[in-house]
């Protein structure tokens, strides 16, 4: 499992450097975009919660992350993000989702890298 996590975070940092570079107009696509979206979600929700993730990244980006989660098979996290995106979600519901996320056993880096291995295999 450690190799999968290492590969995920190394790729996330590399892609993030390109995506967040000052003045960058680089469009991140394919597997790199999946890694970036899932890495952003995991990092932001772990440190700040769903409310801050949505406020910082925006609904459109969160919807892209939701598609990425579904693509890699992260159904539990996709369900949580979908609930967080509900138009009438309350702050107490978001707090509950934050706790569910932090207690989740769904391994986003491993799911992402396993998907990438299958997709990028010759």
E strand or H helix that includes residue 89: none
Residues 6+ apart with CB under 8 A from 84: 50, 51, 53, 54, 62, 94, 97
- How many whole angstroms separate alpha carbon 50 and alpha carbon 38? 13
**pTM for the full predicted model:** 0.91
Sketch the domain layout of the chain as residue ranges: 2-120
- How many whole angstroms separate alpha carbon 15 and alpha carbon 34? 10
Query: What's the pLDDT at 34?
Result: 95
- How many whole angstroms separate alpha carbon 7 and alpha carbon 39? 12
- How many whole angstroms separate alpha carbon 18 and alpha carbon 21? 5
Would you call 88 helix, strand, or coil by DSSP?
coil
Query: What's the pLDDT at 25?
Result: 74
Q: Note whether 78 and 38 are within 8 A (CB).
A: no
Q: Which residues of the chain have pLDDT under 70?
A: 1, 121-122
């Amino acid at each position: 499992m450690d190799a999968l996590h290492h590969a995920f975070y190394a790729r996330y940092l590399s892609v993030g450097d390109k995506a967040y570079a000052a003045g960058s107009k680089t469009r991140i696509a394919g597997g790199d975009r999946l890694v970036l979206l899932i890495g952003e979600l995991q990092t932001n929700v772990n440190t700040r919660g769903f409310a801050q993730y949505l406020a910082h990244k925006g609904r459109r980006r969160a919807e892209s992350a939701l598609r990425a989660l579904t693509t890699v098979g992260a159904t539990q996290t996709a369900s949580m993000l979908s609930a967080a995106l509900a138009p009438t979600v309350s702050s107490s519901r978001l707090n509950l989702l934050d706790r569910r996320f932090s207690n989740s056993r769904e391994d986003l880096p491993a799911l992402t890298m396993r998907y990438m291995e299958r997709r990028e295999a010759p």
